Amino acid sequence: MSFISEIQKFNSLSIVGLEKNTGKTVCLNYILDRLPSQNYKVAVTSIGIDGESKDQVTGTAKPEIILKEGTYFSTSEVYYSRRNLLSELVEITGERSSLGRIVTAKVLRGGKVMLGGPSSAASLRRWKEGVKKFDVDLTIIDGALSRMSSGSPAISESLIITTGAAYSIDMERLVRRTKYVVGLVGIDKAEPSVRDRFMDIERGVWGIDLNGGLVDFHLESSLTVDKVKDDITKNSSHVFVSGALTDRFLNMISDSDRVKDIVLVVRDFTKMFVTEEAYRNFLRRGGNLRVLQKSRLIAVCVNPVSPRGVVLDSGTLCGKLGEALQLPVYDIVKCGDVI
């Protein structure tokens, strides 16, 4: 089954690159080109700057974003003025970027465009809600370097990850690092009763005690772990970190005698700011981690070429990733279809 048909089962999609030059724009263009043109509306934006013809860091040529007739897109005023397509301006939003207000337009004749859309997760959520007025069937968010928040389940129901030689030219290391991120995306959701207790909590560290009561540990975040005087796992069945989960907090839970008896809960995988070493240690100690929200990871796309010119063997890389991830893996440039 093509992953294009899988995408159409959802109303929102994020494309997140694990590093620059991992083929994110190629993946986006592939999807936009193959989605239905008749009776199917798509709106697209980017959390960063995307679509430029040359990488601003490496100076290498980059594929530009190509939109076809009927597509809605949101970008900054500056980039809108530089578009190489015919479009109808349909909205000037209240959101702003360093390059001006965010505007939304509908493509009348296809062509190329640079996207520089909303800059935060909150503004992306507002954008997603705002374009509903145009009766779109699918919203697509093109993620930015180190901005995994664009892949949050709070923003998109589905997710595609791009990886490749730019992430690591050591194939074994590339597979291992990609598997780690995919593993975070795949963390199971907490049971419904637990999700209901924690979903509306936006700040601090909380828990559920052994009697089922909600407990406020009076910690601003996991970064304030130095303020923990007592073992917060002692009388708890669950510990919830509403914001970022750090190595120090995770190690504190790992070192607890009750690590096997509690469930550590975070909002979603984008809140996991922990190293692979700390996470593996937590799992080895018998730790249990759950999320409140989870996206459906549809596929992983690869770019076997690094900006330095190192080329990994595509077939071998896709084979190793497919075996390690148990997911569809695509080299779009080489085959244009599933590997």
AA letter at 241:
V
Q: Which CATH number fits domain 3-185+295-335: 2.60.40, 1.20.58, 1.10.357, 3.40.50?
A: 3.40.50
In the chain, where does DSSP find H-type helix? 3-7, 24-34, 77-81, 121-130, 171-185, 192-198, 247-254, 276-284, 314-325, 332-335
Locate CATH 3.40.140 in the chain.
192-291
246 CA to centre of own chain? 18
- Check residue 229 and give its pLDDT: 65
CATH topology of domain 192-291: Cytidine Deaminase; domain 2 (3.40.140)
* Per-residue burial over 20-40, b = 16 or more CB atoms within 10 Å of its CB, e = otherwise: bbbbbbbbbbbbbeebeeeee
pLDDT at 324: 96
Give the pLDDT confidence score for residue 333 in this predicted structure: 83
Q: What is the mean pLDDT of each run of 10 residues along the chain (339 residues)?
A: 86 91 91 92 83 48 83 94 95 85 95 89 89 95 68 86 92 95 95 96 93 91 73 91 93 93 94 94 97 94 91 94 93 64
Q: What is the CA radius of gyration of the chain?
A: 21
- In which residue ranges of the chain is CATH 3.40.50 found? 3-185+295-335
Q: What is the pLDDT of residue 189?
A: 96
pLDDT score at 262: 95
Contacts of 19 (CB under 8 A, 6+ apart): 145, 163, 164, 166, 167
Any idea which residue has 């780690």 for tokens? 180
> 174: buried, middle or exposed (CB in 10 Å: 19+, 13-18, 0-12)?
buried
pLDDT of 297 reads 95
What is the rounded CA–CA span in Å between residue 153 and residue 334? 30
| pLDDT for position 275 | 95
pLDDT at 220: 84
